[in-house]
Amino acid sequence: MEAFTVHDGLAATLSRSDVDTDQIIPKQFLKRTERDGYGDACFFSWRYDADGQPQPEFELNDPAYAGASILVTGRNFGCGSSREHAAWALLGYGIKAVIAPSFGDIFTVNALQNGLLPVVLPASTVEQLGARVARRDGHRLTIDLDHCRVFDCEGRSFQFGLEPFWRECLLSGLDPIGMALNHGDAIDSYEKSRSRLLPVTGSVLR
């Protein structure tokens, strides 16, 4: 996955809470297991009408948000069923980070292991940011993962937290499997030193 260090981007707001994974990407788009090609399906039921035409009342269809890469939204974003496609759809749409007061637990893991950064900020802070972004006048945000801070173009900054393991994954551009493979020699050495009376793994059979 692509490393996430510092990202500066146009912000868009989706002023809804409890956005579940079926709303992020409806079930009819879950027939493939490839990670690419889901951008057009992101928020499909909200973005398009029955004839496939853009719904002008849907916030993210506003031309002012064209090219936005940071989404500011309500609490419990990504709730509902587990589907990694939700993270793939947001990334395909161009979203690199989502800022919300809270996220669905499974969505959080799916996002992090695919390089999409979920940023948790206090509800009052998210509400203020959302109101500012809702002016639709090109408000930009910068997210510095190294220092775990969000900066806006008006000079304000906000601290957020992230579990150290996931922070290291994102900064290095490696998912958990990639992180483990970085220690392949140590893993092989340990497995070879274990008693043969214990179960073995594939590493000692190579």
pLDDT tens digits, residue range 36-55?
999 999 999 999 999 999 99
| Annotation: CATH topology of 6-174 | Aconitase; domain 4 (3.20.19)
What is residue 97's three-state secondary structure? strand
Q: pLDDT tens, 163-201? A: 999 999 999 998 777 665 665 666 667 666 777 777 765
* Tokens encoding 98: 């989502």
> Residue written as tokens 């500011």?
72
Question: What is the pTM for the complete model shown?
Answer: 0.87
- Output 15 or 181, whichever has higher pLDDT: 15
* Tokens encoding 156: 């304000």
Q: pLDDT tens, 68-80? A: 999 999 999 999 9
Q: What is the mean pLDDT of residues 150-155?
A: 94
SS3 content of the chain, % helix, strand, coil (to 5): 35, 20, 45
Query: Is 25 in contact with 92 (CB distance < 8 Å)?
Result: no
Res 204 pLDDT > 50: no
Strand residues in the chain grouped as ranges (E): 6-14, 70-73, 97-100, 117-120, 140-144, 149-152, 157-159
